[in-house]
Chains A and B, each alone.
Chain A
């Protein structure tokens, strides 16, 4: 089956503009994650959705960042008034429900490389 897809793969935007990044998780996966990875760095947790529960937004760096997950499937990460420090690769991952070890495994998309000029 299809894996996690993200679009666009690359996005160049001017400082101050808003951007939307899209993630299509694996069908049936109830958990969806957004991470940010700067060049040569580890993954920074941003936000996590699990089923119909309220999302865990504890990793969002500022109120310029927001995310939605519609219908328990597709998710959009929105960055308003982008700044140069927002430049990074934004990764999306999905996983199934708990109860089995393999259900905790996260499947990652290829990422969106965001460059703010």
Chain B
């Protein structure tokens, strides 16, 4: 089974609203990454958070990590139609390798 599982599976919001999606994982990690995939640009890296970090910001993105609950959340503030995409979390195995397992993704639709 996938290391990471995102929820919700799908999310539809109005432009300007905030979008929150969550990722749960099973084993210890060194870091967790979030990626975005849309038809125009393929898969693109958004942000990486290390296991010793609790929160990280990048522009309109805010990522939190709770290693005790083995979960992470991605918040997109003031959403735009261009944010419409699928969002995936990816976790390493915590063993010092570079193998990443991707979650099942959240499909976000931002309505103009």
The residues of A with any CB-CB pair to B shorter than 8 Å are: 31, 33, 35, 41-43, 45, 48, 50, 56, 58, 91, 93, 95, 98, 101-102, 104-111
Contact = CB atoms under 8 A, between A and B. Distances in A.
A24 to B, nearest CB: 15
Interface string B27-66: 0000101010000001111001010000000000000000
Contacts of A107: 45
A98 B98 contact: yes
B98 A105 contact: no
B101 interface: yes
A35 B43 CA distance: 12
Contacts of A93: 43
A42 B105 CA distance: 6
Interface of B: 2, 31, 33, 35, 42-45, 48, 50, 88, 90, 92, 97-105
A108 B102 contact: no
B98 A108 contact: no
B48 A101 contact: yes
Contacts, number: 55
Contacts of B35: 106
Given A42-B2, A42-B88, A104 B43 contact: no
A41 B104 contact: yes
A105 to B, nearest CB: 4
A104 B45 CA distance: 10
B98 A48 contact: yes
Contacts of B101: 45
Given A35-B102, A106-B45, 19 more contacts: A42-B104, A42-B105, A43-B88, A43-B102, A45-B102, A48-B97, A48-B98, A50-B97, A58-B99, A91-B43, A101-B31, A101-B48, A104-B33, A104-B48, A106-B90, A106-B100, A109-B42, A110-B42, A111-B42
B82 to A, nearest CB: 19
